[in-house]
Amino acid sequence: MEALLALFTFSSLLLLSALWFYTKSSISKKAPPPPLPPGPRGLPVVGYLPFLRPNLHHHFTDLAQKYGPIFKVQLGRRLVVVVNSPSIAKEVVRDHDAIFANRDRPIAAVVGTYGGRDIAFSPNGTYWRGIRKVFVREMLSSDNLRACYGHRREEVRKAVRSVKSRIGEPVNIRVLASSTEMNVVTSMIMGSTLGSDEEKIDQIAGEFREIMGKLIALLGEPNISDLFPWLARLDLQGVRARTEGIVKVVDNIFDPIIKEGERIVSEKSGSTTKDDEKKDFLQILLELKNGDDNTGISLDFQAIKAMLLDTVIGGTDTTATMVEWVMTALLDNPKIMEKVQKELEEIVGMTSIVEEVHLPKLKYLDAVVKETFRLYPAVPLLIPRCSSQTTQVGGYTIPKDTKVFVNMYAIQRDPKLWDNPSQFNPERFLNQTFGLDYTGNDYRFLPFGSGRRICAAIPLAEKMLIYILGSLLHSFDWHLPAGEKMDLSDGFGLVMKKNTPLVAVPAPRLSNSELYQ
């Protein structure tokens, strides 16, 4: 019996030893995880930070020439990965969309959006899906956009009248477009609440214009506290303090208007008002304050203000910037401007004014806008994403909490993807049967992003951009002031603006002066 027990024990030990050896051998043969992407070396503690140039999209594009379609840079404590090819961009925004569904949120974004309660910076999850659904299906639904056409038409006509009063004088295109956009958005988000008080709407729009540029600049400003979190409480650059100051101004604007909106919504809920009566964005959001069965969310005042602020920023700054870039490109290419104006003559005529019904027919102007987006993307690195877990992209390991930029500036100028990429050639966007639009399905061209984080306001942005440009180009001829030369240089920020604001001189094109009224 003892011999059998000893034999059993010996056999068990032998079997366990064999299993241990086999397991260890299998592990040793298993391929190691892929390495991190290549990239430039940095210094201890600060990493590559001292070597960054101000215009990140240009600098990252130069680094891509050396390190390839995906590379890394260490900025302080943050690992940053930059993607520079459509195939790897697809992996980030579509194939691994769930892993990269969160934004990398700088301190200015968290503070400026009431703790990240908006669509742009809210973490992926039930709340984000709910507010995006409200924004797309309610606030920017086809029916609601049609109902707000009067706001858009009046503000565009007001811009035309303003330009007509300055014939022969220099006009700052960025200021003109920004003013028009801000008035439109202000009317859409609170016009029904404020009623017919146009003076009040103009005043509020002016207050927003004054602070929005400052907030956009803060969102794009490199902040040492974001790169070294242990320094955040010191706020060495004052980014948090400055952002909090802007939020206080926003509160002073929104709070009394929200109070008035609550009163109106309360009165309507107790009346026999028709459900399809025209509502502004504020009233739509206030109706969700106590919860909504369709989305499963309820919105407090902070969330409502965050979403309204999102609409103001997203609906004005990028669109106004692109109006300026398109006008810049056309003034730099007068023959293309002639083609645009010829199309407007054929579609609209010279005895009518541009209306939104004309916009789908303006194919060449649409191609001009897309070509401008290709060369001068409003958000050249898109809004950065953050990996929620370690994954593999482009054959490399991307650790959890890595900040990821998709460098659309490089992709949309890549000579391997585009013929004569530095040439302004709208014809490349004509007669396309698939892909080169704003839906984010062709990864060579993603001016509004792609995947679940694609810009939610594309319908409004596209409509307003073509409407403003069509009206300005149909009603006026434009030229640079005497002695001025075109400056095509850009400066980096969250939104890529011209270094030198475009100033152009208008001349009337329409013979009937009543068309300007």
Q: Which residue has the tokens 């969160």?
A: 102
Residue 223 pLDDT exceeds 80: yes
Q: Tell me, what's the pLDDT at 271?
A: 62
Q: Is the distance from CB of 413 to CB of 424 less than 8 angstroms?
A: no
Total structural domains within the chain: 1
> Within a 13 Å sphere around the CA of 404, how many CA atoms are in the beta-carbon half?
34
Question: Is it the case that residue 469 has pLDDT exceeding 80?
Answer: yes
What does the pLDDT read at residue 295? 61
pLDDT at 167 over 90: yes
Contacts of 249 (CB under 8 A, 6+ apart): 207, 211
Q: Output the pLDDT for position 7.
A: 42
Answer whether residue 10 shows pLDDT above 50. Answer: no
Contacts of 163 (CB under 8 A, 6+ apart): 171, 176, 472, 475, 476, 506
CA atoms of 215 and 240, how far apart (whole Å): 11
Residue 263 makes CB contacts below 8 A (sequence gap 6+) with none
Query: Does 327 map to a domain?
Result: yes
Q: Is residue 8 included in any domain, yes or no?
A: no
Polymer length of the chain: 517
Instruction: Please report whether residue 4 resides in a domain.
Output: no
CB 60 within 8 A of CB 381: yes
Q: What is the pLDDT of residues 473-502, one digit of tens each?
A: 999 999 999 999 999 999 877 889 999 999
Q: Is 478 in contact with 504 (CB distance < 8 Å)? A: yes
pLDDT at 6: 46
Per-residue pLDDT for 292 more than 70?
no
Higher pLDDT, 429 or 290: 429
Is it the case that residue 307 has pLDDT exceeding 80?
Answer: yes
Above 90 in pLDDT, residue 11?
Answer: no
pLDDT at 293: 57
- Report how far apart the first and last C-alpha atoms of the chain are (Å, whole number): 112
pLDDT digits (tens, 9 = 90+) for 114-131: 999 999 999 999 999 999
Describe the chain by its helix, strand, coil percentages, rounded to 5: 55, 10, 35
Residue 192 counted as domain residue: yes
> What are the tokens at 67?
């390190």
Band (4; pLDDT cuts 50, 70, 90): very low
Whether residue 18 has pLDDT greater than 90: no
Residue 399 has pLDDT above 50, yes or no: yes
At 68-104, the pLDDT tens digits run: 999 999 999 999 999 999 999 999 999 999 999 999 9
Query: Which one is predicted more confidently, 488 or 32?
Result: 488
Q: Which candidate, 429, 394, 398, places its Cα nearest to that of 89?
A: 394
- Domain membership of residue 3 (yes or no) is no
Mean pLDDT of all residues in 53-65: 94
Which helix (H) or strand (E) is 23 found in, with range? helix 2-29
Q: Is the pLDDT of residue 38 over 80?
A: yes
CA proximity to 409, closest of 384, 439, 375, 359: 375
Q: Which domain holds residue 448?
A: 33-516
Q: How buried is 1 (Cβ within 10 angstroms: 0-12 exposed, 13-18 middle, 19+ buried)?
A: exposed
Q: Has residue 19 been placed in a domain?
A: no
Burial class (CB in 10 A: 0-12, 13-18, 19+), 235: middle
DSSP string covering 429-470, please? GTT--SS-SSSS-STT--TT--GGGS-TTHHHHHHHHHHHHH
Beta bridge partners of 172: 503
* Cα gap 455→459, rounded to integer Å: 10
pLDDT surpassing 50 at residue 317: yes
Residue 128: CATH number of its domain: 1.10.630.10
**H helix intervals, 148-271:** 149-164, 173-194, 198-220, 224-227, 239-269
Assigned domain for 272 exists: yes
**Tokens 């094109």 identify what position?**
509
Exposed/middle/buried for residue 436 (C-beta within 10 Å: 0-12, 13-18, 19+): middle
* 370-374, 453-457, 475-479: the lowest-pLDDT one: 453-457
Please determine, for residue 463, whether its predicted confidence score (pLDDT) is greater than 70.
yes
**What pLDDT score was predicted for residue 273?**
52
Rounded-to-integer distance, Cα 495 and Cα 325, Å: 12
206 pLDDT band (50/70/90 cuts)?
confident
Domain assignment present for residue 394? The answer is yes
Is the predicted pLDDT of residue 26 greater than 90, yes or no?
no
Dist. CA 510–CA 513, nearest whole Å: 7
Tell me how far CA of residue 99 lies from CA of 38, 116, 391, in angstroms.
21, 19, 8
416 secondary structure, DSSP code: T
Q: Is the pLDDT of residue 28 over 90?
A: no
pLDDT beyond 80 at 409: yes
Report the C-alpha gap between 116 and 302 in whole angstroms. 10
At 371, which helix (H) or strand (E)? helix 363-375
Report the amino acid identity of residue 187. Answer: S
Average pLDDT, the chain: 89
